Amino acid sequence: MSALDDLVAAVLATPKYRAVCPDTVRRLGAAELARRSRPKAALKATKARLHQVFGAFDRALDYGRLLEELSTAHTSGDEGALRATCRAALACHASTRERLAILDRFYAEVFAVTGVPARVLDLACGLHPLAIPWMGLPREASYRACDLDGRAVAFLNRCGPLLGRDLEASHADILCSPPTGEADVAFLLKAAASLERQERGGALRVLEALRARHAVVSYPVASLGGRGKGMRENYEAGFRQMLRGRPWRVQRLPFATELAFVVTK
């Protein structure tokens, strides 16, 4: 076994990072091993980077209970109950919790620009597919999601029938395996900034590889700690700089709790 194999095995053996995509651990671990001569120091640094990418979010979710609640709501046939259960689940992650206040407008405004998609990609999805009941997608729409969090992915793969849509999630690192499927709309919600921190130019690389007519790229307007001074301006400046020289059309959609851009290729 190489030093990198050892590092990956050690990280994946820890309860906190057991569910992280092994490609992510390998990618971050290789970079840290290249920087440090001592494997122990590289292991520590890899865990610290994983904490930023993965561990800083509230992952202590009871997916089994969420699934039971969704199943009960689905069996009742009551659309209101299903939405209420999805809302409660979306409230479990900061990024989707912040979207609750704008759920009724978000997809209406995005799809007014893109048209209602029949093929959706949701990159670095977190729990976002649970917002499907607000999207107004056609019954036959396909929804392909991915995230490096294996527990969220396993959970989402059981949600499709409950949400009444063809939903499939894959456990993947989009910086290692950029998605290859075609789509009408690809969501890259509140993840571009993290991709840039993981790899300079990473978000643009993913956007360039996308085989989607429209990409919806968004940024948070407040930090996890609740502070938001200047975030909107800074993220917008970084986003515009990233797209400089690309022949893509950009439509800005400033929501109260999220700054979104529709990028049309």
Contact 22, 12 (CB under 8 A): yes
**In the complex, least distance from residue 71 CB atom to ligand SAM, rounded to whole angstroms:** 22
**In the complex, least distance from residue 228 CB atom to ligand SAM, rounded to whole angstroms:** 15
**In the complex, least distance from residue 37 CB atom to ligand SAM, rounded to whole angstroms:** 27
Task: Assign 249 to helix, strand or coil.
Answer: strand
**In the complex, least distance from residue 19 CB atom to ligand SAM, rounded to whole angstroms:** 10
| Residues whose CB falls within 8 Å of the CB of residue 234, separated by 6 or more in sequence, listed in order | none
User: Nearest to residue 11, comparing CAs of 28, 146, 85, 252?
Assistant: 28
Token pair recorded at residue 163? 């949400």
Using the minimum distance from each CB to ligand SAM, give the nearer residue, 69 or 149.
149
The DSSP letter of residue 243 is T
Using the minimum distance from each CB to ligand SAM, give the nearer residue, 39 or 133.
133
- For ligand SAM, the binding residues (CB under 6 A) are 24, 53-54, 95-96, 124-126, 128, 147-149, 173-175, 189-191, 194-195, 198
Token pair recorded at residue 69? 């609640």
Token pair recorded at residue 73? 């709501």
Using the minimum distance from each CB to ligand SAM, give the nearer residue, 53 or 141.
53
Dist. CA 168–CA 50, nearest whole Å: 25
**In the complex, least distance from residue 210 CB atom to ligand SAM, rounded to whole angstroms:** 14
**In the complex, least distance from residue 168 CB atom to ligand SAM, rounded to whole angstroms:** 15
Using the minimum distance from each CB to ligand SAM, give the nearer residue, 72 or 170.
170
Using the minimum distance from each CB to ligand SAM, give the nearer residue, 95 or 114.
95
Side by side, which strands form the sheet with 258-264?
A: 166-171, 142-147, 119-123, 182-188, 211-220, 258-264, 249-255
**In the complex, least distance from residue 54 CB atom to ligand SAM, rounded to whole angstroms:** 5
For residue 190, list its beta bridge partners: none
Token pair recorded at residue 29? 């671990």
Using the minimum distance from each CB to ligand SAM, give the nearer residue, 36 or 151.
151
Using the minimum distance from each CB to ligand SAM, give the nearer residue, 162 or 175.
175
* Burial of residue 230 (number of CB atoms within 10 Å: 0-12, 13-18, 19+): exposed
Give the Cβ contact number of residue 250 at 10 Å.
Answer: 13
